[in-house]
Amino acid sequence: MLFDTHCHPNLAKTKDKNQIIKNFFEQNKEAFLNFIWTNPQTNIEVLELSNKYKNSYCSIWIHPCDIYNLDLEKEILRMENLILNDKKKKIIAIWECWLDYYWLKPENDEKIAKYISEIQQKVIKLKKDLQKIFFKAQIKLAKKYNLPIIIHNREAKDDVFEILEETWFKNFIFHCYSENLEYAQTLLELSPNCKISFSWIVTFKNAKEVQQTAKNIPLKNILVETDSPYLTPTPFRGKQENEPAFTKYVLEKIIELRSEDSKEIEKQIFKNSLKVFNIK
């Protein structure tokens, strides 16, 4: 029983996406995949791919790096049309609700900083504000169609929480978790049934805070993912790209960290995945 709740097979550079999917299902007979796609064109492609493979689903939206050139109302209508025409109910979430401030850092050139810093700071604020507008729009869309949102957070955890609290939206998955236990507990206080998804980060030697989180939060709140083709696991790093077939290694690390029976952990995490995506 295995569910890679977050993968991007279309972004693999050295492997064919269909072969990646087949590899996963050949190794895992009772398994599920959630494809994450990135733009208006590939949202349609991923829906077709999900229809092609049994136990395959998808989450739709626009890559956050592209939002600065988009008409929000037009994109919301485009997403609604996909959801409304999804006869097989393959769309299971609104993907990544994104606050990512990592890429919005000002230039670190002391010679020109004093001349451009004020302008940069204004641009950074405008971009942050736009990310928040899109984030809230995704929550509104998710509420309308009773879908969970998948949250991408990078150096923006306080603003992420503020928006969740402001909108009082509780049906969320915190993707590729990289924060500490205290923050996870804050999320669980806001939404006791939210899901926290662990990727290969939980296996890194220096990821002690993430490991503490995986060890101590309730089992009913845990999901696993690969975020492939990124975050290739250690045995394959530098040799090949990450893929859904490697989800089992993330699960094995969760089992290693926790005190429950291994079969119970596997069973419960699989159950969590089906429940949050409302898969019968």
Distance from C-alpha of 152 to C-alpha of 146, rounded to nearest angstrom = 19
**Could you name the CATH architecture of 2-276?**
Alpha-Beta Barrel (3.20)
Sign of CA dihedral 18, 24, 30, 32: negative
* Mean predicted confidence (pLDDT) in 60-78: 80
Which backbone phi and psi does 218 adopt, to 5 degrees?
-60, 140
* Mean predicted confidence (pLDDT) in 32-56: 83
What integer pLDDT is reported at residue 109 of this predicted model? Answer: 54
Q: What is the pLDDT confidence band of residue 280, given thresholds at 50, 70 and 90?
A: confident
Q: What are 149-199's pLDDT values in tens digits?
A: 999 988 889 999 999 999 999 999 999 999 999 999 999 999 999 999 999
Range of lowest pLDDT (88-92, 142-146, 154-158, 177-181):
154-158
The helix/strand/coil state of 85 is: coil
| Burial zone of 40 (CB within 10 Å; 0-12 exposed, 13-18 middle, 19+ buried) | middle
- Give the tokens for residue 28: 């895992």
pLDDT of residue 205 exceeding 70: yes
**Domain locations along the chain:** 2-276
